[in-house]
């Protein structure tokens, strides 16, 4: 038995037989060719280009039903690259001038591209370099006769795929083949492949060192997507423990599934509204399946992070598609929250000492007006297709709201002049996630149509702790008295001014804090669709009366840790089965 540790990237527990997609790193044949073989090598390369293009096209075609436009976009990028004249000329040059075999020529040219991408210290480019690696691999495999689709043909349902890395293309094929889960040596939680797996509920562990060399085809493998564990050839005792866990997990999911069509009402009959937070349109499917009331937060910056600067037309198409598949339910589109930890080198941006406090989100958009206008035009135009609102991130004061509204008015005028249809009366709301805005919530409420509480940032900035820093995560307490005071203040301001208020930070999907928020008076919650059923379960088990009593106790606690314990006890008493242990 070997236990390997990686990063949990999609929750779940599965046991199955291993299917080794790639055992070793690709062996590229290298030899010198004769002058008389140049044409033959060139032909081999052209043939591989043609077949690889056909391969990507066919996956794109067969995935049209199940994938969102933006997920399909990756295939267009691959196809564009395979037609790139510079790339083709470069490979031909190596074949003709250096008398290299075609596989080696492709490998050298692709490696040069990968290297230049990896030299840029930026997550976005690192992810893109993997895309080039996938294309290179596919081309070389074509030429040496290792057709990936043939390898994938051998895969059976319910197998666990083990690989060095899995491209979004291969992940698409694997998901359609109903594999049980996958583990990779490479990859990150935020890669396209991981996001895709999460939206299909397939457990994934990424970043597992030495994975491929420790697994053989057909080995029994346990994948623990909660702890990021891959257990290879488990001993009897471990297998027994995990078989039990897998069974419990299946029945936990079954229990949650029963709630799909149930109403979201507390045990004393108060209705609660649940919405989804989405990063890619694909997640809307799950949101609909679980009967969310709509999308409470569409984080549009992810389309930028996935593709770089995209045209108004492309943004329009992605948003229109999201609005249409959202079944006429409300959808809140947040303007780009770029900068901070969501920064791409594609964005002209000075190096900042404190990016979380820097030129980010609305500040960035206001500084780069043309860039912002492009997005506003796309949102306003797409909004004609459904019940759409627009939300502004990281607002710190009233001036930013007014400046943004001025730009929106300018954009509207331009659209009128150009005779382009758009939604004239789009509601405009703000994220309340900077303490300064929370403190003047009463004034801000008079300027906007709705509030959404971004508790992730609100807690970060109020308590002065970096939300991504594990060393200070113990201080991340949504029950801190200061947070309770701000949450109450925001709610009162919204009620007084008769505007809607939702909570869309992580606490909105966390059973413990749902109880806290209900006690404070919040009734609208927006969360990752994966957490909707869990939220339904806790809400149906508890009463507003109990939650209000809970708040009374929390207010008396001067130490947040004690309040956290109080909340845990409350959950244990009322819904100990809401979490999977
Ligand atoms: C938040 O800050 O709570 C929020 C929902 O926004 P994001 O997590 O995208 O910063
Ligand atoms: Mg935020």
For ligand 1, mutation pick of 435, 437, 456 (most atoms within 8 Å of CB):
456
Query: Where in the chain are all domains bearing CATH 3.50.30.10?
Result: 2-24+150-233
Closest CA to 107 of 87, 127, 85: 87
Q: Which is higher by pLDDT, 186 or 558?
A: 558
- Ligand 1 centre from 454 Cα, in Å? 5
Name the pLDDT band for 23 (thresholds 50, 70, 90). Answer: very low
456 lines ligand 1 (CB under 6 A): yes
Q: What are the pLDDT digits (tens) for 77-116? A: 888 999 999 999 999 999 999 999 999 999 999 999 888 8
Would you state the pLDDT for residue 69? Answer: 66
In a mutational test of the pocket of ligand 1, which residue from 504, 507, 528 has the highest number of ligand atoms less than 8 Å from its CB?
Answer: 504
Residue 352 has pLDDT above 70, yes or no: yes
> What whole-number distance in Å separates Cα of residue 452 and Cα of residue 524?
9
Beta carbons of 278 and 287 less than 8 angstroms apart:
yes
For 496-548, the pLDDT digits (tens) are: 999 999 999 989 999 999 999 999 999 999 998 989 999 999 999 999 999 99
Instruction: Please give the distance, rounded to the nearest whole angstrom, from the Cα atom of residue 265 to the centre of ligand 1.
Output: 26
CA of 457, closest atom in ligand 1: 2
Q: How far apart are CA 101 and CA 107, in angstroms?
A: 10
- SS3 label, residue 181: strand
CA of 53 to the centre of ligand 2 (A): 40
CATH superfamily of 35-145: PtsI, HPr-binding domain (1.10.274.10)
Kindly tell me if the per-residue pLDDT of 549 is higher than 90. Answer: yes
The CATH number that domain 273-544 falls under is 3.20.20.60
Q: Can you tell me which atom of ligand 1 is nearest the CA of 299?
A: 9
For 118-169, list the strands marked E by DSSP.
160-163
The pLDDT assigned to 46 comes to: 94
Pinpoint the residues of the chain covered by CATH 1.10.274.10: 35-145
pLDDT score of 192: 60
Burial grade of 284 (CB within 10 A; 0-12, 13-18, 19 or more) = buried
The reply to whether ligand 1 has any atom less than 6 angstroms from the CB of 103 is no
DSSP run (H or E) holding 373: helix 369-382
Query: What is the token pair recorded at 330?
Result: 């409300």
Q: Is 455 in the pocket of ligand 1 (CB under 6 A)?
A: yes
| Ligand 1 atom closest to the CA of 334, numbered from 1 | 9
Torsion, CA 195, CA 196, CA 200, CA 204, rounded to 10: -70
Q: Which residue has the higher pLDDT, 57 or 238?
A: 238
Q: Which of 295, 356, 505 to mutate to test the pocket of ligand 1 (most atoms within 8 A of CB)?
A: 505
Distance of alpha carbon 496 from alpha carbon 474, whole angstroms: 35
Q: Is the CB of 70 under 6 A from ligand 1?
A: no
Mean pLDDT of 177-185: 90
Residue spans in the chain of domains classed CATH 3.20.20.60:
273-544
The DSSP-derived string for 231-270 is EES--HHHHHHHHHHHHHHHHHHHHHHTTTTS--B-TTS-
**Residue whose structure tokens are 């909004």:** 383
224 Cβ closer than 6 Å to some ligand 1 atom: no
3-state secondary structure 261-313: CCCCECCCCCECEEEEEECCCCHHHHHHHCCCCCEEEEECHHHHHHHCCCCHH
Atom of ligand 1 nearest to the CA of 505: 3
What end-to-end distance do the CA atoms of the chain give, in Å? Answer: 23
CA atoms lying within 13 Å on the CB side of residue 290: 29
Helix (H) or strand (E) holding 15: strand 13-20
- For 361-377, what is the mean pLDDT? 96
Catalytic site positions: 192, 504
H/E element, 334: strand 331-334
Confidence (pTM): 0.76
Whether residue 469 is predicted with pLDDT greater than 80 in this model: the reply is: no
Copy the structure tokens of residue 147.
């057709």
Please enumerate in sequence order all residues whose Cβ is within 8 A of that of 407, keeping only pairs 6 or more positions apart, or say none. Answer: 366, 369, 372, 373, 376
Is the CB of 283 within 6 Å of ligand 1?
no
Ligand 1 contact, 505 CB (< 6 A)? yes
* Best of 433, 466, 517, 527 for a ligand 1 pocket test (most atoms within 8 Å of beta carbon): 433
446 burial (CB, 10 Å; 0-12 / 13-18 / 19+) is exposed
Q: From the options 3.40.50.800, 3.50.30.10, 3.40.190.10, 3.60.20.10, give the CATH code of 2-24+150-233.
A: 3.50.30.10
Q: How far is the CA of 272 from the centre of ligand 1 (A)?
A: 21
Q: What are phi and psi of 283, to 5 degrees?
A: -70, -15
Nearest CA to ligand 1 atom 9: 299
- pLDDT (mean) for 413-442: 98
The one-character DSSP state at 100 is: B
516: Cβ below 6 Å to ligand 1?
no
Q: Is 130 helix (H, G, I), strand (E, B) or coil?
A: helix
- Residue 476 C-alpha to ligand 1 middle, in angstroms? 14
- Among the residue ranges 54-63, 438-447, 453-462, 560-569, the one predicted with the least confidence is 54-63
Nearest CA to ligand 1 atom 4: 454
The reply to whether ligand 1 has any atom less than 6 angstroms from the CB of 360 is no
CA distance 502 to 453: 6
Distance 456 CA to ligand 2 centre (A): 6
- For the segment 327-356, the average pLDDT, to the nearest whole number, is 83
Of 390 and 118, more confident: 390
Q: Is the pLDDT of residue 302 over 90?
A: no
396 to 435, 476, 495: CA distances (angstroms)? 8, 21, 21
Q: Are 330 and 294 in contact (CB under 8 A)?
A: yes
Q: What is the pLDDT of residues 258-301, one digit of tens each?
A: 999 999 999 999 999 999 999 888 789 889 999 999 999 999 98
Statement: residue 190 has pLDDT above 70:
no
Local structure of 460: helix, strand or coil: helix
> Is the shortest distance between the CB of 315 and ligand 1 below 6 Å?
no
CA of 131 to the centre of ligand 1 (A): 28
Rounded Cα gap, residues 554 and 259, in angstroms: 30
279 lines ligand 1 (CB under 6 A): no
């Amino acid at each position: 038995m070997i236990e390997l540790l990686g990063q949990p990237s999609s929750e779940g527990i599965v046991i199955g037989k291993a299917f080794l997609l790639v055992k070793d790193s690709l062996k590229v044949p290298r030899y010198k060719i004769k002058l008389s073989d140049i044409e033959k090598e060139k032909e081999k390369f052209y043939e591989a280009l043609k077949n690889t293009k056909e391969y990507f096209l066919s996956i794109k075609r067969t995935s049209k039903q199940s994938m969102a436009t933006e997920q399909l976009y990756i295939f267009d990028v691959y196809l564009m690259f395979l037609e790139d004249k510079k790339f083709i000329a470069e490979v031909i040059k190596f074949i003709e001038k250096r008398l290299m075999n075609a596989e080696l020529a492709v490998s050298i040219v692709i490696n040069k591209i990968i290297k230049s991408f990896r030299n840029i210290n930026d997550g976005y480019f690192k992810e893109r370099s993997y895309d080039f690696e996938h294309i290179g691999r596919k081309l070389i495999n074509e030429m040496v006769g290792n057709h990936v689709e043939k390898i994938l043909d051998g895969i059976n349902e319910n197998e666990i795929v083990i690989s060095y890395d899995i491209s979004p293309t291969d992940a698409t094929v694997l998901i359609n083949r109903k594999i049980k889960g996958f583990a990779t040596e490479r990859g990150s939680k935020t890669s396209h492949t991981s996001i895709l797996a999460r939206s299909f509920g397939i457990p994934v562990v990424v970043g597992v060192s030495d994975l491929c060399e420790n697994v053989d085809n057909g080995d029994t493998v346990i994948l623990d997507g909660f702890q990021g564990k891959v257990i290879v050839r488990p001993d009897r005792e471990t297998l027994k423990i995990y078989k039990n866990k897998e069974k419990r997990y299946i029945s936990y999911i079954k229990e949650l599934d029963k709630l799909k069509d149930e109403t979201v009402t507390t045990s004393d009959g108060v209705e609660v509204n649940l919405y989804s937070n989405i990063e890619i349109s694909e997640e809307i499917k799950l949101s609909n399946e679980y009967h969310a009331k709509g999308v409470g937060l569409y984080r549009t910056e992810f389309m930028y992070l996935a593709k770089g600067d995209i045209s108004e037309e492309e943004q329009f198409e992605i948003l229109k598609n999201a609005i249409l598949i959202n079944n006429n339910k409300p959808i809140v589109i947040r303007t780009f929250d770029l900068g901070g930890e969501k920064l791409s080198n594609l964005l002209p941006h000075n190096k900042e000492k404190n990016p979380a406090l820097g030129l980010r989100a609305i500040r960035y958009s206001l500084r780069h007006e043309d860039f912002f206008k492009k997005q506003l035009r796309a949102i306003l135009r797409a909004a004609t297709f459904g019940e759409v609102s627009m939300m502004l991130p990281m607002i710190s004061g009233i001036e930013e709201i007014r400046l943004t509204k001025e730009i929106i008015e300018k954009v509207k005028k331009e659209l009128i002049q150009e005779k382009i249809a758009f939604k004239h009366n789009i509601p405009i709301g703000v994220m309340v996630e900077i303490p300064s805005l929370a403190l003047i919530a009463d004034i801000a409420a008079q300027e906007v149509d709705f509030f959404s509480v971004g508790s992730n940032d609100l807690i970060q900035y109020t308590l002065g702790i970096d939300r991504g820093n594990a060393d200070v995560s113990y201080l991340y307490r949504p029950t801190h008295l200061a947070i309770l005071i701000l949450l109450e203040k925001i709610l009162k301001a919204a009620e007084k001014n008769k505007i809607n208020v939702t909570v869309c930070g992580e606490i909105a999907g966390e059973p413990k804090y749902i109880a806290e928020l209900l006690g404070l008076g919040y009734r609208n919650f927006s969360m990752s669709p994966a957490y909707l059923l869990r939220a339904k379960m806790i809400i149906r088990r508890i009463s507003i009366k109990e939650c209000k009593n809970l708040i009374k106790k929390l207010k008396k606690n001067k130490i947040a840790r004690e309040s956290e314990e109080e909340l845990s006890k409350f959950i244990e008493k009322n819904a100990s089965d809401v979490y999977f242990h």
